[in-house]
C-alpha cells in the first residue's frame, strides 16, 4: 500500500522525495569518498545512478516498501543529505540509512532528519523496531545512532567491505548492529 507522507519538517529542515531536478546534486554529493566507503551507493557514482535512485524512491513510496527522502534546507531547497527507512512488512520493522553532504556535516542534519523519519515510522506506520548497520570504524554513523537512542545490540565481525561498494580488494571490517524500539527514540 502506498505510503502517505505527512509534512516532515523542523525549524530548518524539510524531508521530501527526490525528483529529477535533484539528479546533479545527488550525483555530486554521492561521489564523496566517505559516502562511497560507508554506504552501498554504486561507485563511481553517476547521474544515471542518481536517476535510478529517484525512480526507486518513487516506486518504494508507491508500493509501501520504504521512504527514501532528501533532506533539504527549508529556506532555499538546497540538498543537504538523504535519509531512508526501508520497511520489512514480514516483521513490521524498518532499517534506517543516511548520508549527508560533506559541507553540511556536524550540524545534526543526520540526527534531526532521522528523528523526523523515525517519528513517522513509529507513529503513523506503527513499526515495532528499526535497525541500523554501521561500520564499527564509522564514528559519525555510530554517533548518530547513539544520539537517536539506538542500543548497540552486537557487532558482526568482518561483515562489511571497508571500501567502495563491491570493491572486493577492500579490507573487511566489523559492522555494528543498532536497534531502536518505539519508546526509545530520543
Ligand X SMILES: CC(C)(COP(=O)(O)OP(=O)(O)OC[C@H]1O[C@@H](n2cnc3c(N)ncnc32)[C@H](O)[C@@H]1OP(=O)(O)O)[C@@H](O)C(=O)NCCC(=O)NCCS
Contact residues toward ligand X (CB under 6 A) are 34-35, 38-39, 98-100, 105-111, 134, 138-141, 143-144, 147
**Residue whose C-alpha is closest to residue 97's, from 157, 150, 173, 32:** 150
Q: Quick one: 87 or 136, whose CB is closer to ligand X?
A: 136
Q: Quick one: 34 or 184, whose CB is closer to ligand X?
A: 34
Q: Quick one: 62 or 107, whose CB is closer to ligand X?
A: 107
Q: Quick one: 61 or 101, whose CB is closer to ligand X?
A: 101
CB of 87 to ligand X, least distance (A): 18
Q: Quick one: 63 or 103, whose CB is closer to ligand X?
A: 103
CB of 2 to ligand X, least distance (A): 27
CB of 31 to ligand X, least distance (A): 12
Q: What are phi and psi of 3, to 5 degrees?
A: -90, 125
CB of 4 to ligand X, least distance (A): 27
CB of 17 to ligand X, least distance (A): 19
**Residue whose C-alpha is closest to residue 13's, from 95, 82, 99:** 82
Amino acid at each position: 500500500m502506498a505510503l502517505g507522507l505527512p509534512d516532515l519538517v523542523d525549524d530548518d529542515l524539510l524531508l521530501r522525495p527526490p525528483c529529477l531536478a535533484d539528479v546533479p546534486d545527488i550525483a555530486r554529493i554521492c561521489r564523496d569518498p566517505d559516502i562511497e566507503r560507508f554506504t552501498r551507493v554504486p561507485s563511481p557514482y553517476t547521474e544515471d545512478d542518481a536517476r535510478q535512485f529517484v525512480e526507486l524512491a518513487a516506486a518504494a513510496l508507491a508500493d509501501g516498501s520504504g521512504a527514501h527522502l532528501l533532506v533539504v534546507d527549508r529556506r532555499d531547497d538546497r540538498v543537504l543529505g538523504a535519509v531512508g527507512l526501508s520497511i520489512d512488512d514480514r516483521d513490521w520493522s524498518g532499517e534506517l540509512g543516511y548520508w549527508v553532504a560533506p559541507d553540511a556535516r556536524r550540524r545534526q542534519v543526520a540526527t534531526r532528519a532521522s528523528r523526523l523519519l523515525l517519528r513517522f515510522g513509529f507513529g503513523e506506520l506503527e513499526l515495532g523496531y528499526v535497525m541500523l548497520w554501521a561500520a564499527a570504524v564509522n564514528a559519525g554513523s555510530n554517533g548518530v545512532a547513539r544520539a537517536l537512542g539506538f542500543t548497540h545490540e552486537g557487532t558482526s565481525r568482518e561483515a562489511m567491505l571497508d571500501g567502495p561498494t563491491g570493491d572486493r580488494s577492500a579490507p573487511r571490517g566489523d559492522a555494528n548492529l543498532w536497534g531502536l524500539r518505539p519508546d526509545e527514540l530520543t
